[in-house]
Amino acid sequence: MKHMNEGLDMSAAQVSPGPPLSAHDKRILEAVHSAVSGWLEEMEAMRRMEEDFAACLVRCRTAREAIGLSTEWMAKRLDSLIAVQHHLVELWLECEAAQSPVVADWERPVRKRRGR
């Protein structure tokens, strides 16, 4: 089975064959690359979680067990999707803030991630 991020190389040379990138553009490109890598890791983790869910679901003996397992899986799935969306919004805000002279010195707040 081919790995999800196989063949993905987002180097600056591939993205922009023109003039060299400014420091600001490099930061944005690195942030996008980080976001894509993070998204791929989240999707790979979700795939593994779905495999585990399917294996556990097959072993359920009653509808009550299956419902409980499904509810737990849906909560994990929702948490994962929220984390990915949160990361993408942070990236968007960083890019917007970097372009605004009013918030040029803005620093991203440190936050703790639940369950990790």
**Is 106 part of any domain?**
no
Report the distance separating Cα 64 and Cα 15, nearest Å. Answer: 52
pLDDT at 30: 82
pTM assigned to the model: 0.54
User: Taking 60 as the threshold, does the pLDDT of residue 87 lie above it?
Assistant: yes
Q: How confident is the model at residue 12 (pLDDT cuts 50, 70, 90)?
A: very low
**Is 114 part of any domain?**
no
**Is 92 part of any domain?**
yes
Answer whether 4's CB lies under 8 Å from 42's CB.
no
pLDDT at 105: 53
pLDDT at 106: 53
Which two structure tokens, joined as six digits, stand for 76?
């994990």
**Is 36 part of any domain?**
yes
User: Taking 80 as the threshold, does the pLDDT of residue 116 lie above it?
Assistant: no
**Is 12 part of any domain?**
no
**Residue-wise over 20-38: b if at least 16 C-beta within 10 A, else e?**
eeeeeeeebbebebebeee
**Is 68 part of any domain?**
yes
* pLDDT tens for each residue of 26-60: 777 787 787 778 778 878 888 998 899 999 999 99
**Is 2 part of any domain?**
no
46: domain range? 23-97
**Is 15 part of any domain?**
no
Number of domains in the chain: 1
